[in-house]
Structure 1
Amino acid sequence: MIMGWRGLMGFEYGIVQAPLGPDISGPELVAAVANAGAIGFLRAPDWESPEYLRDLIRKTRSLTDKPFGVGIVLAFPHEQNLKVVLDEKVALLQLYWGDVSPELVEEAHQAGTRVVPQVGSVEGAKRAIDAGVDAIIVQGHEAGGHVIGQDSLTTLVPRVVDLVGDQEIPVIAAGGIVDGRGYVAALALGARGVCLGTRFLATEESHAHPLYKTKLIEYKDTEYTDIFGRARWPGAPQRVLKTPFFSDWRSLPPSENELGQPIIGRSTINGVEKEIRRLAGTVPNDTTTGDIESMAMYAGQGVGLIKEILPAGEVVRRLVQEAQQVVKDKFGEM
């Protein structure tokens, strides 16, 4: 039997729950994923908030005795947050939207933390390998949320796998994967594991607003755009659900952004009260009030395969069972 879904970086399964921002993947989701044998990631705040992040890490540890990780977006202030991750000796550090330096990798290794950047190109993967990282998440253009590259998963993963060669750096595929068929397909491309965002967004434990979760079931199509959050995070396009609001605003002129737009809601994000303006890139979490349907709703191209909201542990179990069944049905015992 092919056992490619086991043993990724010492974890039971090669399944990764992406760090869902800004605070959608909280301790409850991450602990549920970890307890199911997969790899869960908290998402660090997009501003320096070291004590809040420390509390998130410790709350997660109160819910699981399994290892987990923290994701940090390098495009935002992060030095103090990074220090907390290393002080707390968190098992894994996921980094995104910025190059990882050899010095940062060495600092993490001294703390016993393994470094797993997410990249969207062969060039990004080469820089990560040269920096000495422990694994690489390869994000295809199919992914939801902020998408850093233009290549599809089916072309990008094999190229990065070939680039890694015989080095012990597992490649993890991300983008549009929601079920066991996608899991097996990623393994066939040479990946050692899969990273899922939208599928874990649509779980009972995620902090996404209930209406957002409902829309993930209701809508089947996504679009790659840049209309959300242009002022806050310029040059960071995203893949979103094609909601009626998005369809009305998708042709926003390049000169316009969320500044000066009306306030359409409020939210508590990582412990901070925030106003949400129309066209802001902030997705609605479970504290958000206001015009939820007019807010950004990130989702990957695989969203049309999601039929129900499930417990996170059940998502992990089904992924493994489905993958095993696909291998058995299509290839027989191997």
Structure 2
Amino acid sequence: MGWRGILGFEYGIVLAPLGPDISGPELVAAVANAGGLGLLRAPDWESPDYLRDLIRKTKTLTDKPFGIGVVLAFPHKENIKAILDEKVAVLQVYWGECTEELVLEAHQAGVKIVPQVGSVEEAKRAIDAGVDAIIVQGREAGGHVIGQDALISLVPRVVDLVGGQDIPVIAAGGIVDARGYVAALALGARGVCLGTRFVATEESYAHPTYKRKLVELEKTEYTDIFGRARWPNAPQRALETPFYVHWRTLPSHENETHQPVIGHSTIHDMEKEIRRFAGPVPNATATGDIESMAMYAGQGVGLIKEILPAGEVVKRLVTGAQRLIHQNFSAEIC
């Protein structure tokens, strides 16, 4: 096992399951081939046959293990059955209860299960359910954010809660480079989960305009203006694009339901209208007013200066972290 490996993977680098379909087979395979854990994103509706095809396509691009993320707030039972039938390495779940029954079902299929949590209380329930690892998401994270605590305070508390149990804690939120990786390790995490940094890669299925904005813009804001009708009470961290700045004070009774259609997109093989204030970020198929669509990003976005191959991102994280530890933290303490 290589440096800082987790769950049998060479490195402790995890590609977040970027929605709606930004972490597709090409990106997941690139991360897996580089020694990290790549996570596909399941559709937010039941589509088991499509999901099987997605998994099988990924298997043609890598002989390494990978995983898939499921949002439990949406219909998912048939999707999870397909995932377990296909025996992916890891089932990642979010925004819902990771029950003992679900953990047992995954383990009986030979699949490891990793929930993402945003609080100590959630972490305690996950530990009690017998999960294989825990992704701890801080409020700095991009996209939909389930908790309110900052990563620097939340990770050590979960690490202490895990104690001597073999349940790796994986830090998520605002991490984009080796410095963030080392900081997470110092907090007690054994790995890091990155979203925004991997959106801004060559293999990402994000629209080119979205990728460009991640390089150009540096500010984000915690908000709830996107997707209020489809996914209520699910706040997000988004880029401060000109569109967002103009609409950031959207009245609480407004949502996307009666807004004009600003574009179209094919998401997980389904044609979708994109209305103003809709939740999905623009993928590579999106057309229309791209700059008025949601663009999620974590607080570390200002550190992203270029679009890179995903494998290069993994390499720089690992070698950079090794170098930092060797140069700055390995001196003998007298």
Normalising by structure 2, report the TM-score: 0.98
Q: CA deviation at 1:322?
A: 0.7
Q: What secondary structure sits across from 1:266 in the alignment? A: strand
Contact between 1:207 and 1:286, CA under 8 Å: does it hold in 2? yes
Aligned partners of 2:2 and 2:10 also within 8 Å: no
Conservation of the 8 A alpha-carbon contact between 1:5 and 1:192: no
In 2, distance between residues paired with 1:33 and 1:330?
A: 28
Quote the offset at 1:331 in angstroms: 1.6
211, 216, 229: which one aligns with 2:209: 211
Within the candidate set 314, 324, 327, 1:326 is matched to 324
Task: Provide the residue aligned with 1:292 in structure 2.
Answer: 290
Q: Are the aligned partners of 1:89 and 1:112 in contact in 2 as well (CA < 8 Å)?
A: yes
Name which of 153, 158, 164 aligns with 1:155.
153
- Secondary structure class of the residue paired with 2:7: helix
Q: TM-score, normalised by structure 1?
A: 0.98
Shift of 1:328: 1.6
Alignment of 1:149-228 (within 5 A): 149-228=147-226
Identity %: 78
Once the two structures are superposed, residues 40-81 of structure 1 have per-residue CA deviations (whole angstroms, 9 ceiling, x without a partner) of 000000000111110010000000000000100000000010
Following superposition, the deviation at residue 6 of structure 1 comes to 2.1
- The one-letter code sitting in structure 1 at the alignment partner of 2:320 is E
AA of the residue aligned to 1:145: G
**Match for 1:239 among 234, 237, 240?**
237
Give 1:7 shift: 2.1
The ranges of structure 1 where at least 4 consecutive aligned residues each deviate by more than 4 angstroms after the TM superposition are none
Distance in 2 of aligned mates of 1:102 and 1:333: 44
Residue in 2 that maps onto 1:44: 42
In structure 2, the partner of 1:249 is: 247
Who is 2:112 aligned against?
114
The answer to whether the aligner puts 1:316 opposite 2:314 as a matched pair is yes
Task: Specify the alignment match of 1:146 in structure 2.
Answer: 144
How many residue pairs get matched?
332
CA distance in 1, matches of 2:225, 2:5: 40
Distance 1:151 1:63 in 2: 37
2:72 match = 74
SS at match of 1:8: coil
Please tell me whether the aligned partners of residues 146 and 238 of structure 1 are also in contact (alpha carbons under 8 angstroms): yes
Task: Give the RMSD, CA atoms, in angstroms.
Answer: 1.0
**Cα distance in 2 for residues equivalent to 1:331 and 1:251:** 45
Partner residue in 1 for 2:10: 12
Structure 1 unpaired stretches of 5+: none
Q: Which runs of 5+ in 2 are unaligned?
A: none
Q: Is the 8 A contact 2:72 2:95 kept in 1?
A: yes
Q: Aligned partners of 2:154, 2:214: CA distance in 1, in Å?
A: 26
Show the counterpart of 1:103.
101
- 1: CA distance, partners of 2:211 / 2:329: 35
Deviation of 1:4 after TM superposition, in Å, equals 9.2
